Amino acid sequence: MDKDVIAESRGLNHWFGTGDARKQALFDIDIALPRGSLTVLMGPSGSGKTTVLTLLGCLRAVQDGSVVMAGHELNGASEAELTKLRQRLGFIFQSHNLHESLTALQNVIMGVQVHPGVPDDLARRAAVQSLDLVGLSDRMDYLPANLSGGQKQRVAVARALVGNPLMVLADEPTAALDKDSADDVVDLLKRLGAERGTTTLLVTHDNRILDRADRILTLEDGRIVSTQK
Ligand SMILES: Nc1ncnc2c1ncn2[C@@H]1O[C@H](COP(=O)(O)OP(=O)(O)OP(=O)(O)O)[C@@H](O)[C@H]1O
């Protein structure tokens, strides 16, 4: 694998269900994600986008084919190995999944606590820096209920970024946002790619993002039908 490629799938197939209900969801998926790039995965509902994201994100066991993440083959990897790799990734979902009873800062600190053994003061410092990065230094002590939709999603981005992940996997992160907030989130991911070499794989139906992507992959019925840029 090219050393500038952070994650790569080769001949990746995936099935759901058993017996008569067994159905192939992915067919022969080849994807290479270069370090620092922003790749968008598009396609109709049910085309397999989330399945690809969860396989590359070490959230699901690889059944057939190869996925290499940061030099580690995921096919045949143990649950412990997958967990360890997952800790080096950042995840952002459509709904921000913040804990409503915790402040923005406390929510981001929880993102550090996936790494066992990080001292509290270090976790706090990293969380403050991450909130600063997303432009929310002045909202650290707010509860989610007192933040706008865009601000909540930026807290979720700060939480995903707090461990300085190798790669960010985002599933529809801008779907619930107005144009300006969506732009902020995508700009931030682009900037991290340029400044820190963070690689992003982003699943979206949001056409507003496309012109900012380095590459756009389109899935249909479990197959990549086009690669643009
Ligand atoms: N846990 C599951 N059990 C059975 N089938 C599943 C499961 N998850 C996904 N599928 C099927 O696999 C196919 C791909 O699903 P997937 O969620 O990856 O698509 P998607 O492109 O992300 O869709 P959406 O845009 O609606 O989120 C679909 O046919 C779906 O019904």
* Residues 6+ positions from 200 with CB-CB distance below 8 Å: 37, 38, 39, 167, 168, 169, 170, 189, 192, 193
Residue 3 pLDDT grade (very low, low, confident, very high; cuts 50, 70, 90)? low
Q: Which is the CATH superfamily of the domain at 1-87+205-229? A: P-loop containing nucleotide triphosphate hydrolases (3.40.50.300)
Residue 224 pLDDT? 97
Tell me: pLDDT of 25 over 90. Answer: yes
Residue 181 or 44, more confident: 44
In tens, the pLDDT along 111-156 reads: 887 777 888 899 999 999 999 988 899 999 999 999 998 899 889 9
66, 10 contact by CB (below 8 A): yes
The pTM of this model reads 0.90
Query: Which ligand 1 atom lies nearest to the CA of residue 219?
Result: 21
- pLDDT of residue 164 exceeding 90, the answer is no
* Residue having the nearest C-alpha atom to atom 30 of ligand 1: 46
**Residues framing ligand 1 (Cβ under 6 A):** 16-17, 25, 43, 45-51
Q: Report the separation in Å between the CA atom of 23 and the middle of ligand 1, taken as the mean of its atom positions.
A: 11
The fraction of the chain above a pLDDT of 70, given in percent, is 98
